[in-house]
Structure 1
């Protein structure tokens, strides 16, 4: 098992299956809980679980490292946990999963703008193609009414920007922190704000323990333990053992898993979704990690 956890392709597949299933789990959880409750529960409970590693790790960290761990936690483990359920109140889990594929595109763009990671011309073309695909999806993402849901789709795009920035920070600023300590640290830091939000949301007072709520709570627990705490440990490990761009290619597989769950759940699926998703995947393929590129080789 230890050898498998050192295999980057094994990690990639496990993360893809876990995170790819998170969109349908969010959808099922929204039946009984608000986006605020979902996000706060995921981060708060994950922090509680991971604090056994996080507290000792934080006590040993230098101030500079602590600063970057805090920023990393906000961008990768706190804010997106609220953005996705808010967005999924108006867009399908399939669309959310496909738009999440933009992470490698923003890794490329932000890496070039802020971290000095040079890009080739075909990678820039890939970024443009990916953005075109995302624009198609956002324009044609509609609810049961005739109103466009572009604003809610943009929340997913914002979440992908957060994930991309976090991946770059982990690789450039937190490479020296072991993945278990890093994931424990970021969740521990944002655990208290999350529980404060959970208390003020009325989660503990207003939750009725009927069968529907208990079922949603079960989905939320799976989403929290598997899709948040464990998957994030594996993701940090993957980033540190490879590179942000390779790790972000997990989004090759996420849309496939998300769409499959959406179809099983009876979600409407349009040919436009296929075209938009293919454009994003073509963009990701063009910007994928090149072994001969010294700027993308893990250091």
Structure 2
């Protein structure tokens, strides 16, 4: 039991480090490549890394399962990869990492609206706090005053809504498949689209050949795809199997810490208004996860 606990905490910390580092890697990629190129590169790298696993698995799936996995690949990987890159053209990487924490909120909200999950008073409170925190976070001026809303944040919010949709579809329609099958095959199905995007991008090849800086940025994005989109998902699925979804959800609170740390080390500033917004978002997520934890304890 002790060894299992050590392994679980080790995986949790590694996951937080990997996913929390994702946003600074996107930032590095955007120094050379356009948002669409960063998103496509990320997906293609993940796809190629998982090919040895996904190709043998795809032959065992039905047409219905493949259609659902294509949907999962689109809303869970393809679209968010482009949205995060686009959003980070006008958002600090640390702030983007905090906004990523809205995923559990959207998972709950979409589950309630489209999949008949029940809302509680605590759920409403958590969602309200997260919404208020998002608005405060993205309208905070450097002197504490309210500034113009950063509409690029909506790309990140939409990406977390995609993640929430993705998790609900998996839960209600693909519960019969293993997490490894879902991850590897869904990425395989959208990988060729990312490859075509880059193939028809006339500027991409020129950028890659432009010098060491471009090659370095390419490496950052490839690392992003292999680590954050492939290895991290496999590790997360393993963590859920070893422990509980409640323990695994703890990573939601650790990711923003890692993302903000990278941002501060990279010279990004964090002001009082942003701190208040961050606190409200994390408190909203905590309230919702706490409610889930109590429900799980009652079932046990």
Task: Please state how far the C-alpha of 1:214 moved relative to its aligned partner.
Answer: 2.2
- Partner residue in 2 for 1:151: 151
Q: Does residue 182 of structure 2 align to residue 182 of structure 1?
A: yes
Asked if the contact 1:91/1:149 (under 8 Å) is kept, the reply is no
Change in Cα spacing, 1:18 to 1:47, as seen in structure 2 (3 Å) is: same
Task: Please state how far the C-alpha of 1:115 moved relative to its aligned partner.
Answer: 1.9
Q: 1:203-234, CA deviations, whole angstroms, 9 ceiling, x for partnerless residues? A: 22442242221221221222121112111223
- Partner residue in 2 for 1:195: 195
Change in Cα spacing, 1:135 to 1:149, as seen in structure 2 (3 Å) is: closer
Change in Cα spacing, 1:205 to 1:67, as seen in structure 2 (3 Å) is: same
- Partner residue in 2 for 1:224: 225
Q: 3-state SS of the aligned residue for 1:293?
A: helix
- Partner residue in 2 for 1:260: 261
Change in Cα spacing, 1:170 to 1:51, as seen in structure 2 (3 Å) is: same
Structure 2-normalised TM-score? 0.88
Q: How big is the alpha-carbon RMSD for the aligned residues of Structure 1 and Structure 2? A: 2.7
Q: Does residue 49 of structure 2 align to residue 17 of structure 1?
A: no
Task: Please state how far the C-alpha of 1:297 moved relative to its aligned partner.
Answer: 6.3
Task: Please state how far the C-alpha of 1:89 moved relative to its aligned partner.
Answer: 0.7
What are the equivalent positions in structure 2 for 1:60-209 lying under 5 Å apart? 60-140=60-140, 148=148, 150-202=150-202, 203-209=204-210
Structure 1: which 5+ runs fail to align? Answer: none
1:293 corresponds, among 268, 285, 295, to 295
Asked if the contact 1:98/1:258 (under 8 Å) is kept, the reply is yes
Asked if the contact 2:101/2:252 (under 8 Å) is kept, the reply is yes
Task: Please state how far the C-alpha of 1:12 moved relative to its aligned partner.
Answer: 3.3
Task: Please state how far the C-alpha of 1:104 moved relative to its aligned partner.
Answer: 1.1
Name the count of aligned residue pairs: 293
Task: Please state how far the C-alpha of 1:162 moved relative to its aligned partner.
Answer: 0.8
Task: Please state how far the C-alpha of 1:272 moved relative to its aligned partner.
Answer: 1.1
Structure 2: which 5+ runs fail to align? Answer: none
Task: Please state how far the C-alpha of 1:58 moved relative to its aligned partner.
Answer: 1.7
- Partner residue in 2 for 1:48: 48
Asked if the contact 1:246/1:288 (under 8 Å) is kept, the reply is no
Between 1:236-245 and 1:260-269, the stretch displaced more is 236-245
Task: Please state how far the C-alpha of 1:288 moved relative to its aligned partner.
Answer: 0.6
Task: Please state how far the C-alpha of 1:149 moved relative to its aligned partner.
Answer: 5.3
Between 1:105-114 and 1:286-295, the stretch displaced more is 286-295
Between 1:184-193 and 1:47-56, the stretch displaced more is 47-56
Distance 2:133 2:93 in 1: 17
Asked if the contact 1:170/1:236 (under 8 Å) is kept, the reply is no
